């Protein structure tokens, strides 16, 4: 069952079970805010960690990266790039607090600059006023090659 809004599904190619943004909350020329509820029935909680589940940090980062792809697709509106948004660099990741099953988080991404087809961005995640993570990343739109 998908909890993603139609707009999220329209803008990016990600689909369940690897879609980690439920809805777009707001947009501005240089940023986007999205929301994600981490549902208790998600499979990864069974093994991370049994009896004391927390959301894997790599999935929290992926939610931020998907929000970045949503921002870029919206910013490109009439001139949507061909291909898919590919992550090309991650830096300065800081995890401050865990996310538990049932938590709802706000994800904010900001475009810092564009250099030669690379979009340099910064992202944060919060649960209410509690900071969860901060990360800087770069994205490029590419046509990935088919598997060999």
Catalytic residues: 48
Sign of CA dihedral 47, 49, 51, 52: negative
| Sheet bearing 104-115, strands edge to edge | 23-28, 31-37, 104-115, 118-127, 130-142, 84-95
State how beta strands 104-115 and 130-142 pair. Answer: unpaired
State the CB neighbour count (10 A cutoff) for residue 105. Answer: 24
**What number of CA atoms fall less than 13 Å from residue 118's CA on the CB side?**
10
According to DSSP, the residues that pair with 133 across neighbouring strands are: 95, 125
């Amino acid at each position: 069952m998908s909890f993603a809004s139609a707009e999220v599904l329209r803008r990016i190619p990600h689909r369940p079970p690897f879609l980690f943004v439920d809805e777009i909350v707001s947009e501005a020329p240089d940023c986007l805010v999205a929301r994600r509820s981490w549902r208790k029935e998600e499979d990864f909680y069974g093994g991370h960690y049994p009896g004391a589940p927390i959301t894997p940090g790599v999935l929290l980062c992926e939610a931020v990266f998907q929000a970045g792809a949503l921002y870029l697709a919206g910013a490109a509106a009439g001139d949507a790039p061909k291909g898919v948004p590919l992550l090309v660099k991650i830096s300065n990741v800081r995890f401050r607090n865990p996310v538990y099953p049932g938590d709802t988080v706000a994800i904010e991404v900001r475009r810092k600059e564009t250099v030669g087809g690379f979009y340099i961005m910064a992202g944060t995640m919060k649960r209410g006023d509690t900071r969860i993570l901060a990360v800087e990343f770069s994205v490029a739109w590419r046509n990935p090659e088919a598997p060999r």
